[in-house]
Amino acid sequence: MVETGHSDVIATEDPAAKLAGLRYKFSDFEGVEVGPLPHLAEERSRLGELKWENFDASMIGATVGAQIDGIDIANGVSDSALNELHQALVEYKVIFLRNQQITSSQQVSFAESFGELEIHPFIPSNTEHPKLVRFEKGAEVGGYENSWHHDVTWREAPSKIAILRAVSVPHTGGDTMFSDMCAAYEGLDDSIKSEIENLIAVHDFSHSFGSQVPEEKLEEIREKYPLVEHPVVGTHPDSGRKYLFVNRIFVNHFKGMTRKESLPLINSLSRQAEFPEYQCRFRWSDNSLAVWDNRQVQHYALSDYWPDVRIMERASVIGEPPKQ
């Protein structure tokens, strides 16, 4: 027997000695497992080796999120640097740029380098720039975006990219978290992957934004924004990677199932975004930007700063209907 050095210590090896590359069901609680997530290793290693000519990138999460240094949007960004930024976004899924002293107009121009911008019908905009959604929270208007979601999946063509700028943020609180939905899909059991391979989700704006629509306009708005169908598993057009495209806010039910029948699976799939190993967390400062791929990540805006004031502006790039 190995000498432990103290009579109270009976262990001869680490409790996780047999967990190399394995998950372990920790208790009788459903879905509670411990141990490494080995499917992250290859992507983490690949991303860590990427090099860029026009800027430096520092990874934040294991497979998602990188801070970009060496870009000054106010002074203009070369075509070469823009091309690299676009590619970095595909790779890291969300990128962050600090100390960007830019105006709302400059934010719009930068965002338009990624494509045509949408106008959000249910969230107030910057009055001078309708392509910028303005989130101005404080004592009278609390943040309620603290649930994992992709943006505007109730659109036939959900936005593909979002560019969010911190206009003014509290000294503490108000961070935003992002979760890698490619990693979330890859981490599913093969049986679940088989079950959802051809599953279609029906998305609806009304659970989140229906209360804003006057009753007399409901029929008109419903005609303009009908229920839409998107595959539960999408394939990214640039990377070719599969991603999980389900969230609790906008998915109403699965095609061929009632909402009641759909709820357990909606909840189970949505829970995949909650794995901290799939996430990164960004602490905002004034004049910082987050640019994310709305297909590859979900996000969660922490609502821990009330009643302090937090002002953000977001531009969103029109996408295409997700493909299996």
Q: What's residue 211's pLDDT? A: 73
Q: How far apart are alpha carbons 285 and 279 in whole angstroms?
A: 20
Mean pLDDT, rounded, for 5-25: 71
- Please give the positions annotated as active site: 149, 151, 299, 314
Residue 8 inside a domain? The answer is no
CA dist 16 to 9, 13, 245, 311, 324, Å? 16, 8, 33, 45, 38
Residue 324 inside a domain? The answer is no
Residue 140 inside a domain? The answer is yes
Q: What's residue 15's pLDDT? A: 66
Amino acid in position 55? F
Residue 322 inside a domain? The answer is no
pLDDT band at 216 (very low <50, low <70, confident <90, very high): confident
In 3D space, the residue among 199, 257, 259, 264 whose CA is nearest the CA of residue 229 turns out to be: 199
Can you tell me whether residue 215 is helix, strand or coil?
helix
Structural domain for 154, as ranges: 24-317
Alpha-carbon dihedral angle through residues 238, 239, 245, 249, given to the nearest 10 degrees: -70
Q: Calculate the average pLDDT of the chain.
A: 93
Q: What's residue 219's pLDDT? A: 86
Q: How far apart are alpha carbons 90 and 273 in whole angstroms?
A: 19
Q: For 81-101, what is each residue's pLDDT tens digit? A: 999 999 999 999 999 999 999
Q: For 98-154, what is each residue's pLDDT tens digit? A: 999 999 999 999 999 999 999 998 888 888 999 999 999 999 888 889 999 999 999
Q: What's residue 4's pLDDT? A: 53
CA dist 125 to 18, 93, 118, 176, 190, Å? 54, 25, 11, 20, 43
Residue 2 inside a domain? The answer is no
Residue 37 inside a domain? The answer is yes
């839409």: which residue's tokens?
A: 228
**Structurally, how many domains does the chain consist of?**
1
- Residue 87 sits in a domain whose CATH number is 3.60.130.10
Bridge partners, 24 (sequence order): 34
Q: For 33-44, what is each residue's pLDDT tens digit? A: 887 899 999 999
| Cβ density class 279-290: b for 16+ within 10 Å, e for less | bbebebeebbbb
In 3D space, the residue among 318, 291, 312 whose CA is nearest the CA of residue 93 turns out to be: 291
Residue 13 inside a domain? The answer is no
Bridge partners, 95 (sequence order): 66, 291
Burial of 175 per CB tally in 10 Å (0-12, 13-18, 19+): middle
Does residue 185 have a pLDDT over 70?
Answer: yes
Q: How far apart are alpha carbons 41 and 24 in whole angstroms?
A: 18
In 3D space, the residue among 45, 91, 104 whose CA is nearest the CA of residue 292 turns out to be: 91
């105006």: which residue's tokens?
A: 103
């060496």: which residue's tokens?
A: 70
Q: How far apart are alpha carbons 180 and 220 in whole angstroms?
A: 36
In the chain, the percentage of residues whose pLDDT exceeds 90 is 78
Residue 228 inside a domain? The answer is yes
Tell me the range of 7-16, 25-34, 87-96 where mean pLDDT is highest: 87-96
